Amino acid sequence: MEDVEQGIRAIVAEVSGADEQEITMETKFAEDLEVDSIKAIEITVAIEKKFKVSVRDEDVPNIMTMRQAVDLVTKLVGQAKA
């Protein structure tokens, strides 16, 4: 399976309009990329489709950085395989 970090970075870059090379694990979606709630939902839906996972609605507001997104998706992918 494609590397989770790279997959999420590509999605975030596409939705936010940022350059993939500028997005690091420390990138804050709202502060650094001006991702609003609509774009956050777009990112979430794209992640769910790409990785075939389901992100709970209550988890969405807690995904504020690249690292948090990667950690959550890695955990969900692991649960899906179990």
Q: What is the pLDDT of residue 1?
A: 42
Q: Establish if 23 belongs to a structural domain.
A: yes
Q: Establish if 82 belongs to a structural domain.
A: no
Q: Establish if 64 belongs to a structural domain.
A: yes
For the chain, list residues with pLDDT below 70.
1-2
Distance CA(36)–CA(2), nearest Å, equals 27
Radius of gyration (C-alpha) of the chain in whole angstroms = 12
Distance CA(66)–CA(23), nearest Å, equals 8
**Taking the model in full, what pTM does it have?**
0.92
Q: What is the pLDDT of residue 61?
A: 87
In CATH, what number is assigned to the domain containing residue 12? 1.10.1200.10
Distance CA(20)–CA(39), nearest Å, equals 16
Which amino acid makes up residue 12?
A: V
Q: 44: domain range?
A: 4-76
